[in-house]
């Protein structure tokens, strides 16, 4: 039986690439197990919806859209608008579309970190009432549901979710005399060195360190593992839904704990456990290294698990294990960075009812199961984690569920895009040895505060 993972990648076949890319929070009734028309669209009307999302390398999204178009033939037809592969480029194009051609896109998949920005700017429809008419309080996992909330309103429906995980070579650790994965960064450094030296592996540990959103996720996990934080209100997923903008965020990154967490990443490079090239690594680079057998440990997302048996992988399932992200010491908790995507409606769209029909269909249990099996996307519906057959087919769901329950949000703020850019630059400079951890958090304190002061 496999360990836990998910999918996507550029140097591999299309079936592999899909998982890497999109990697990146009621109530009433019966719709989670299936979809029945709401009857809000007249039978003699036919509407075309434009759904925007990134490339569908696995084919699971196109299969979903095809099934929807067949079921709603003569009433609604969905056209798939392929957006940029890069999450940052996707975001910029959406914002441009909303500002310039407001009605070109009707419904879209949005990164969970976009909720506050899009809601505060009026780009997306408040779905609270519609959601309450259809779903019950416990239908969705708490963390993904919270990520769709801002200022006590719901702006999206959770589509699929993810959380950072530590992949490790079970066989190499056992050969080096270690019978369990590391709980702390010191243990990881020691085990990585032991296993690499014995097996001749190229790298001890790899993670995403390039200057982009994936690097921000890695940075936050290092920072949180030492007790650091970026700003108030970003520690738990529950904080997102009830966020009150009358209580402004306070930047708190300039602390000894934050500096310590960020410094660990550089220390791992200086010790030789992590390659210097990690400052350029994205998901495709770390996945390639791990599946090629070149790394003992890898920090990544659930999608990688599904790639172990794909063409191009040199590993087998029994060689791989998955564990929580390490921490500074055993007394601290382990925290993963929450990822995932929500289904949202353009507030300017004239096809609100049709867009909601599509969201209900795409978020249904049947379609989430299909995408979990075909693309390795972790479901957001609670009931699917009790589906024994699905858990056997997608083993990463078991550990994925635990990681998601313990995950933390990236900073919840309407200004996240600007803050993320500064965090990515600061962390990357630490990895390159251009700044110490203390210098980086001190500089980030000033830069992030300036963003709030200018836009607040």
The DSSP result for 17-42, as a single string, is HHHHHT-------SGGG-----S-S-
Per domain, the residue ranges of the chain are 14-163+339-405, 165-336+412-455
Residues 51-90 pLDDT 10s: 999 999 788 999 999 999 999 999 999 999 999 988 888 9
Q: Which residues of the chain have pLDDT under 70?
A: 1-44, 233-248, 456
Q: How big is the chain by its Cα radius of gyration, in Å?
A: 21
- β-pairing, 149-150 vs 153-154, is antiparallel
What pLDDT is stored for residue 303 in this prediction?
83
What pLDDT is stored for residue 268 in this prediction?
99
What pLDDT is stored for residue 386 in this prediction?
96
In our burial notation (b when 16+ CB lie closer than 10 A, e otherwise), range 250-262 reads ebbbbbebbbbbb
Per DSSP, what are the bridge partners of residue 49?
78
Cα torsion through 406, 452, 154, 420, rounded to 10: -50
Q: Show the CA angle centred on residue 139, arms to residues 138 and 141, nearest 5°.
A: 80
Residues 262-292 pLDDT 10s: 999 999 999 999 999 999 999 999 999 999 9
270 burial class (0-12, 13-18, 19+ CB within 10 angstroms)? exposed
Cα torsion through 35, 39, 43, 45, rounded to 10: -100
What pLDDT is stored for residue 199 in this prediction?
97
The domain defined by 14-163+339-405 folds into: D-Maltodextrin-Binding Protein; domain 2 (3.40.190)
Token couple for 30? 């019966």
Residues 6+ apart with CB under 8 A from 102: 346, 348
User: What CATH number has the domain spanning 165-336+412-455?
Assistant: 3.40.190.10
What pLDDT is stored for residue 312 in this prediction?
84
Identical fold, 14-163+339-405 and 165-336+412-455: yes
What is the C-alpha to C-alpha distance for residues 210 and 215, in angstroms, rounded to an integer?
5
What pLDDT is stored for residue 12 in this prediction?
34
């Amino acid at each position: 039986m496999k360990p836990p993972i998910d999918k996507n990648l550029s140097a591999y076949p299309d079936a592999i690439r899909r998982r890497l890319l999109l990697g990146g929070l009621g109530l009433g009734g019966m719709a989670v197990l299936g979809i029945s028309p709401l009857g809000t669209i007249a039978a003699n009307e036919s509407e075309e919806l434009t759904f925007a999302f990134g490339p569908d390398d696995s084919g699971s999204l196109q299969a979903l859209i095809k099934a929807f178009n067949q079921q709603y033939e003569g009433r609604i037809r969905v056209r798939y608008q392929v957006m940029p592969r890069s999450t940052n480029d996707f975001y910029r194009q959406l914002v441009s579309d909303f500002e310039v051609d407001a009605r070109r896109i009707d419904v879209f998949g949005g990164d969970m970190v976009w909720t506050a920005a899009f809601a505060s700017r009026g780009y997306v429809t408040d779905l609270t009432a519609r959601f309450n008419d259809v779903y019950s309080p416990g239908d969705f996992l708490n963390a993904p549901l919270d990520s769709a909330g801002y200022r006590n309103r719901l702006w999206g429906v959770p589509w699929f979710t993810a959380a950072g995980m530590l992949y490790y070579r079970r066989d190499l650790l056992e050969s080096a005399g270690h019978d369990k994965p590391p709980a702390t960064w010191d243990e990881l450094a020691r085990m990585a060195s032991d296993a690499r030296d014995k097996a001749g592996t190229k790298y001890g540990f790899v993670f995403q360190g390039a200057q982009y959103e994936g690097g921000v996720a890695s940075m936050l996990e290092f920072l949180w593992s030492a007790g650091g934080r970026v700003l108030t209100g970003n520690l738990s997923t529950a904080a997102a839904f009830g966020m009150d903008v009358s209580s402004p965020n306070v930047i708190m990154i300039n602390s000894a704990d934050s500096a310590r967490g960020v410094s660990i990443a550089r220390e791992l490079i200086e010790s030789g456990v992590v390659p210097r090239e990690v400052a350029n690594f994205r998901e495709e680079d770390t996945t390639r290294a791990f599946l090629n057998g070149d790394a003992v440990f890898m920090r990544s997302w659930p999608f990688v698990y599904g790639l172990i048996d794909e063409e191009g992988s040199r590993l087998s399932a029994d060689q791989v294990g998955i564990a929580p992200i390490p921490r500074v010491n055993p007394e601290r908790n382990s925290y993963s960075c929450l990822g995932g995507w929500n289904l949202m409606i353009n507030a300017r769209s004239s096809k609100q009812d049709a867009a909601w029909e599509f969201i209900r269909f795409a978020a249904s249990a049947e379609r989430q199961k299909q995408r979990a099996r075909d693309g390795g996307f972790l479901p957001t519906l609670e009931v699917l984690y009790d589906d024994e057959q699905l858990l056997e087919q997608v083993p990463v769901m078991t550990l994925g569920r635990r990681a998601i329950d313990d995950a933390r949000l990236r900073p919840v703020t309407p200004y996240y895009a600007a803050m993320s850019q500064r965090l990515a630059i600061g962390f990357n400079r630490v990895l390159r040895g251009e700044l110490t951890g203390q210098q980086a958090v001190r500089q980030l304190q000033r830069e992030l505060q300036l963003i709030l002061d200018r836009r607040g």
